């Protein structure tokens, strides 16, 4: 069998807070194959972004640290790697785009300069070659008149164009993995459609794997092949997107899908109440307890849920859910 591009094994990340140490990522394992799109879903505070930062080696210094587990990228463990090696991988092999393109770009440099800078630093291109390559990249992300726009400053561009420029910069060194952290949350829906379309095409052209972090089940359904639902730092459910949407095996996944009023193809004049997931994500203090952390919000709560942390249940269709009642759902 082919070795996966990225293999994360039993990753645990601890965050030091005022109230002590909390496992913001608690024993997470997953793999990512070359060219695949994997999506992380969950509410804010569930550890989606923390996973991305860990993969990039960008955990907040002195606050967050990998306490156990491995991040195997092409066989080498990033959890043990030196800062210098991580810096080399970051940008070259794994790159990231963020939610807010305005604050992620340097406001005093032109877009072209910023992309060229990345190319010169990582690939040792000459000034002129880097500039030309930057223009080619802007063209690849469908910015009209790339030659002219390369001289623009971030504030002169619209939100959608800034996100494109971010993507161009992330793609500068032809990374093997592109991590997109809520890339369209700040954008309008028509612009989001453009960006999703662009990301899909770029994946086909470059063969890069994409990790898409989002709270929007619709986006997951459109973009990804597999998804991981995160809750309170733990994996709740993992599997192929279509299978999970058709038949979620974890009550949280079910809640996430049902609580959103999706646009329906068949519209009826009677409207029912939305299914609620009561309550909110537990505070960091609750993280790491030996019980199901979703129990306090769950309709299917039984004694077993409070007695121990649920073990993942594997299903034949490659779906797996960390729930004591997965089979009943």
Partner 1 sequence: MSDLLNVDNLTVRFEVKRGGGWGKKSYLYAVDDISFAVKKGETLAIVGESGSGKTTAALAVARLVKAHSGSVCLGGEDVLQTQDEDLRAFRQKVQFIFQDPYSSLNPRQRAEAIVREPLDSLSNKSAAEKTQIVEGLFQAVGLRPEQQRLFPHQFSGGQRQRIGIARALATQPELIICDEPVSALDVAVQAQILNLLRKLQKDFGLTYLFISHDLGVVQHMSDSIAVMYMGRIVEHADRMSLFTAPRHPYTQALLSAVPTVDRVKRASQKRILIPGDPPDPVNLPKGCRFANRCLVAQELCHRQEPALMSDDNGHRTACHLVS
Partner 2 sequence: MTRPELQEEETLQAQHPFTESWAMFRKNTAAVAALALLTLITFGAIFGPMLYPVDPFEMVWAPFSPPGEEGFLLGTDYLGRDLLSMIINGAKVSLMIGVSAALMTVIIGVTVGALAGFYRGIVEEILMRITEFFQVLPTLLFSMVLVALFGASLPMITFAIGIVSWTAVARITRSEFLRIRELEYVMASRASGASNMKLMFRVILPNALPPIIVQSALMVGSAILFEAGLSFLGLTDPNVVSWGQIIGSNRQYILDAGYTVTIPGVAIFVTVLAISLVGDGLNDALNPKLRQR
| Alpha helices (H) along the chain | 48-56, 83-92, 101-104, 111-123, 127-140, 146-149, 159-171, 189-206, 217-223, 241-246, 251-258, 303-307
Total residues contacting partner 2 (rule CB under 8 A)? Answer: 7
From residue 242 to residue 271, the character string flagging contacts with partner 1 as x (rule: CB under 8 A) and all else as - is x--x---------xxx-xxxxxxx-x-x-x
| 82: partner contacted, choices partner 2, partner 1, none (Cβ within 5-8 A by kind) | none
Nearest partner of 186 among 156, 216, 208, judged by Cα:
216
What does each C-alpha distance from 152 to 128, 136, 209 come to in angstroms?
Answer: 18, 15, 30
DSSP string, 154-188: GGGS-HHHHHHHHHHHHHTT--SEEEEESTTTTS-
Task: Mark the segment that binds partner 1 (CB under 8 A) among 62-70, 79-87, 213-221, 309-317.
Answer: 213-221
Q: Which of 278, 290, 303, 328 binds partner 2 (CB under 8 A)?
A: 278
18 lies in the site for partner 2, by CB under 8 A: yes
By C-beta, is 262 or 285 nearer to partner 2? 285
By C-beta, is 246 or 276 nearer to partner 2? 276
192 lies in the site for partner 1, by CB under 8 A: yes
**Do 212 and 293 meet the contact criterion of CB atoms below 8 Å apart?**
no
| 306: partner contacted, choices partner 2, partner 1, none (Cβ within 5-8 A by kind) | none
Strands 320-322 and 177-181: unpaired
Q: Which of 297, 310, 320, 322 binds partner 2 (CB under 8 A)?
A: 297
201 lies in the site for partner 1, by CB under 8 A: no
| 245: partner contacted, choices partner 2, partner 1, none (Cβ within 5-8 A by kind) | partner 1
**Do 165 and 138 meet the contact criterion of CB atoms below 8 Å apart?**
yes
The sheet with strand 64-73 has its strands ordered as 20-32, 6-17, 64-73, 76-77
| 117: partner contacted, choices partner 2, partner 1, none (Cβ within 5-8 A by kind) | none
* HSE-CB for 286 with a 13 A CA cutoff: 18
322 lies in the site for partner 1, by CB under 8 A: no
188 lies in the site for partner 2, by CB under 8 A: no
Calpha distance 92→112 (Å, rounded): 18
Q: How many residues does the chain have?
A: 329
By C-beta, is 179 or 298 nearer to partner 2? 298
By C-beta, is 121 or 245 nearer to partner 1? 245
Q: Which two tokens stand for residue 242?
A: 């279509």
Sites for partner 1 among residues 69-128 (CB under 8 A): none
128 lies in the site for partner 2, by CB under 8 A: no
| CB contact burial 33-64 (16+ within 10 A = b; e otherwise) | eeebbbbbbbeebbbbbbbbbbbbbebeeeeb
Task: Mark the segment that binds partner 1 (CB under 8 A) among 14-22, 74-82, 191-199, 312-320.
Answer: 191-199
Report the run of H or E that residue 76 belongs to, with start and end: strand 76-77
Sites for partner 1 among residues 140-169 (CB under 8 A): 144, 158-161
Residues that bind partner 1 (CB under 8 A): 43-44, 144, 158-161, 188-194, 196-197, 215-223, 242, 245, 255-257, 259-265, 267, 269, 271, 273-278, 280-281
Residues that bind partner 2 (CB under 8 A): 18, 276, 278-280, 296-297
């Amino acid at each position: 069998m082919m070795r996966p591009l990225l293999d994360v094994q039993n990753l645990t990340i601890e965050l030091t807070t005022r109230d002590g140490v909390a496992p913001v990522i608690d024993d997470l394992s997953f793999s990512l194959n070359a060219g695949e799109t994997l999506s992380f879903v969950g509410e804010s505070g569930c550890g989606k972004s923390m996973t991305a930062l860990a993969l990039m080696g960008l955990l907040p210094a002195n606050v967050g640290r990998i306490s156990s587990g491995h991040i195997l990228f092409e066989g080498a463990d990033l959890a043990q790697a030196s800062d210098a090696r991580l810096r080399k991988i970051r940008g070259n092999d794994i790159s990231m785009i963020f939610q807010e393109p305005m604050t992620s770009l340097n406001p005093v440099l032109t877009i072209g300069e910023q992309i060229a800078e990345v190319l010169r630093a990582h690939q040792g291109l000459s000034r002129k070659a880097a500039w030309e390559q930057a223009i080619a990249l802007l063209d690849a992300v469908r910015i009209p008149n790339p030659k002219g726009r390369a001289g623009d400053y971030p504030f002169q561009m619209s939100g959608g164009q800034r996100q494109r420029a971010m993507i161009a910069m992330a793609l500068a060194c032809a990374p093997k993995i592109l991590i997109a952290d809520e890339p369209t949350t700040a954008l309008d829906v028509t612009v989001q459609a453009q960006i999703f379309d662009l990301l899909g095409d770029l994946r086909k052209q470059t063969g890069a794997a994409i990790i898409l972090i989002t709270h929007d089940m619709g986006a997951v359904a459109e973009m990804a092949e597999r998804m991981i639902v995160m809750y309170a730092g733990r994996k709740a459910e993992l599997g192929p997107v279509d299978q999970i949407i058709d038949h979620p095996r974890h009550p949280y996944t079910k809640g996430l899908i049902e609580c959103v009023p999706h646009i329906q193809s068949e519209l009826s004049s009677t409207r029912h109440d939305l299914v609620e997931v009561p309550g909110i994500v537990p505070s960091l203090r609750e993280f790491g307890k030996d019980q199901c952390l979703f129990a306090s919000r769950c309709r299917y709560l039984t004694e077993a849920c409070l007695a121990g942390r649920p073990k993942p249940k594997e299903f034949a269709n490659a779906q797996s859910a960390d729930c004591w009642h997965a089979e009943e759902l």
